[in-house]
Amino acid sequence: MAAARFAQSAIFGIFVAACGAVSPAAFAADESVIGESQTRRDLPTVTGPIPSDDRPVSGLVSQQYALEKLGIYDAWSVEVGDPSIVVAVIDSGVDSSHPDLSLRMWINPRELANGVDDDGNGYTDDIRGWDFVQDDNNPQDEADHGTHVAGIIAARGRYSDGVAGVANVTIMPLRVLDAQRQGVDSDVALAIDYAVKAGAHVINVSLGGPDSSAAMRNACAAAERAGVVVVAAVGNQGGQAVLYPAAYDSVLGIAAVDENDVPAAFSNASSAVDLAAPGVNILSTVLNQRYGFRNGTSMATAYVAGIAALLRTAHPDWTAAQIRAAIVDSADDINVSGWDEKTGFGRANAYRALTDAGADAPLSDRGVNTAPPLGSVAEPVTAGEQLAELNPCGFGVLPGFALSLLLLGAGKRMA
């Protein structure tokens, strides 16, 4: 975010995450869940561009309107991604057994399951990522959210009865939110640091909080300097709260729109917004090998993370700032002319991002990092600093004038 657009102050306290005019039933966490098809057929990994006239037409993919809206189908005629590109999903974990995700999961090539920290990174037997909540090597999702996010990015059901992710890339699951969807920002900072050191190319952070911490700010700055693109949700309170990490200059902050490009009533409008993507009635993978519709800036963020992965595949030599700028500068301006606090510079367009941008892609005013000098991501944070997931229809009354962001379904305050 441009330094000039930082909000100078905000009042945090009792709040209700509004659903606007949308029926509450449309946002229920346990509704609109689709059972696994009994006719699933496994798919070979796509390794090359898909002709524009060879688009998936399976039942579930046909319900993913965002693929068309974001120009993903056309983008696939240029780039589909590559399994060597790793997207870290910092969230509630990921269900690695889901048939649309099981072959997308990251495996640490430098670690063995032998009770020894083979790669010397401080995490023993972290073969498939890390659970920062339980401090163990099993980042399994217990809250559904991370699995939904991961499916948007990389589900492999493009021609099966499953759903299609944006890119043919690998998912690195890093769990920072427990089964009640609660966590602390120090774990988020550690997870970002882990992802960078483990070789992630893109980091998806579909969560946020009202307070900046030195640890998280420095972790995001370190990611940018390492060439890693960080994408974060701006929040679902339907107000003007400025949330972190979305508000950092080194991070793309994503708002949500519906299938008609109308800003979602729950999507925060603030200086943290860089651009928008679909976040209403989004179909993706959920727990128990099923699929479900979800709503939130979390979902919009995952789409942009997938687009960033396509760009990283196409342009391995680009800096993180160049990739961010290419996505922002190629967005379709859908609201007022130029930047606005509801949709930023517009709705992302994957095809234009891949075809309009050259190696000298101009940097928008959000493309240059102005964060303080890099420090240690292990720097202690102020007691009580919190982050939480995003939920468009949750509500809560919080003590101590702390703002908690809510995730899908009934939101919970991080503690």
Active-site positions read 91, 145, 298
Contact residues for 85 (Cβ-Cβ < 8 A; gap 6+) = 167, 169, 170, 201, 202, 309, 312, 313
Q: How far is CA 375 from CA 93, 260, 379, in A?
A: 27, 43, 8
- 302 sits in which H/E element: helix 297-314
Bridge partners (DSSP) listed for residue 175: 91, 131
Distance CA 151, CA 160 (A): 14
The distance in angstroms from the start CA to the end CA of the chain is 28
Angle at 336 between CA 331 and CA 341, to 5 degrees: 80
> Cβ distance 229 to 320 under 8 Å?
yes
Q: Which DSSP string corresponds to 174-223?
A: EE-S-TTSEEEHHHHHHHHHHHHHHT-SEEEE-EEBS---HHHHHHHHHH
SS3 of residue 307 by DSSP: helix
CB 15 within 8 A of CB 239: yes
Nearest alpha-carbon partner for 94 in 19, 191, 13, 28: 191
